[in-house]
Amino acid sequence: MAAKKRYFGTDGIRGKVGRTPITPDFMLKLGWAAGKVFAKGSNRSKILIGKDTRISGYMFEAALEAGLTAAGVDINLTGPMPTPAIAYLTSTLRAQAGIVISASHNSFEDNGIKFFSDNGTKLPDHIELAIEAEIDKALTTVEPKSLGKASRIDDARGRYIEFCKSTVGSRLTLTGLKIVVDCANGATYDIAPAVLAELGADVVTLGTNPNGLNINDKIGSTSPGALKEKVLEVGADLGVALDGDGDRSIMVDHQGNVIDGDEMLFVIACERRRQNAEFGGVVGTQMSNLGMELALAEFEIPFARTAVGDRFVLQEMQRRGWQLGGESSGHVICHDITKTGDGIVSALQVLTAVVLTNKSLNELRSAMQKLPQTMINVSLSQPSNVSENQSIREGVSSIEEKLNGRGRVLLRPSGTEPVLRVMVEGEDSDQVAQLARELADLVAAESGEFA
């Protein structure tokens, strides 16, 4: 039986600042434990540390630095830097690991830690377990002559900007496009605008004045209303909204329509098919809109689903040898370009399609029609047992018959709350809403609880 992790979740360690494990003393111990795992004996080890713009990042950066240096590991500090930038720089700078201090799209009250391996991928389970095992041990300090040193990488920003630009080729230009970019007052605040401007775009900015407290505050990829308003206000060709750590993005077309991760994936896949580029197929999740699956089928592009979470998406991509995958939230992975989700890179791939086809974003996404979805959370004490209930299974089968192959039913336990997510998807929004309500009521009744 596989050992169970106590601190690491599907995307690192995350929680409320000041509550275990998101405390300075834990971060000190975590830094030391990671240093012990990644130390290379007589050879000096090096670990990269970056962070987003939330105020607690300074505190946790100092704690991690103390723990790592006590373990005899050298540190390169980048300051505020997107998560995918740390993944890229960890590999190119030949570091043994990279650490990002971020809670992604969460508000400033939260924070967390993400690790990357020496090749820019997320850590395998056995390494995370090894770090947790070291946390249980007493903290010791290496001999003074062996203590680690910390230094800042002054050109980290420039290195990553050039990498982003290189992903679209040296000849592609965004000249003539007016683009609004919303950086969520997060880690991309001074990078995403520079990338787009250096590629020739007329850039209008939002969310580029972080103060430590306003990250993801009514702005960014989880709150696209501000971007939509600005795109319409300035008459932009389109807009791009990133989240606080820059690993996901969504877009807005010139009419103010929100283009989510599913639609971005569809546009990228169709452009690669148009260029006869080999990419295998597209991996989505259980929550990916059926409209994307149906639209990809029209272009004879294979599609597969996984459990929710970019870790599972990447694993399935690697298993199949496919190059594209992602989630509707905007976490898109172009695996032939980078090893992890990158909001700037995925937006640039969509922009490449806009430029090379000479079509608007609205035209490119119109070949995919998203199907209406209704999701209802049902409070349950044991949501994992629902699938074993005969009445519920019959209810699901009945709804699937009514959808007639043009819809889906999904029952999914939440990973963070004691609820079951009841989702129905189909072509008729009124029917979908009614069927979702009926199924949610059935689930609640069969469990003896109420929605």
Cβ atoms within 10 Å of 171's Cβ, excluding its own: 5
Whether the upstream peptide bond of residue 418 has omega within 30° of 0, thus cis, is no
CA 435/CA 14 separation, integer angstroms = 35
Which one of 91, 104, 249, 288 is the catalytic residue?
104
Task: Judge whether 104 counts as a catalytic residue.
Answer: yes
The number of angstroms, rounded, from the C-alpha of 407 to the middle of its chain's C-alpha atoms is: 26
User: Helix axis angle, 156-166 relative to 343-357, nearest 10°?
Assistant: 40
Sign of the dihedral through C-alpha 444, 445, 450, 451: positive
The DSSP letter of residue 251 is E
Sign of the dihedral through C-alpha 319, 324, 327, 329: positive
Strands 408-413 and 238-242: unpaired
Smallest CA-to-CA distance from 264 within 224, 179, 324, 178 is with 324
Do 288 and 327 touch, CB atoms closer than 8 A? yes
CA 110/CA 416 separation, integer angstroms = 15
Backbone angles phi, psi at 407, to 5 degrees: -170, 180
CA 1/CA 306 separation, integer angstroms = 23
CA 86/CA 92 separation, integer angstroms = 10
Contacts by residues 297-300 (CB-CB < 8 Å, ≥ 24 positions apart)? 298/367, 299/269, 299/270, 299/273
Sign of the dihedral through C-alpha 114, 117, 119, 121: negative
Do 222 and 243 touch, CB atoms closer than 8 A? yes
Do 37 and 128 touch, CB atoms closer than 8 A? no
Active site residues: 104
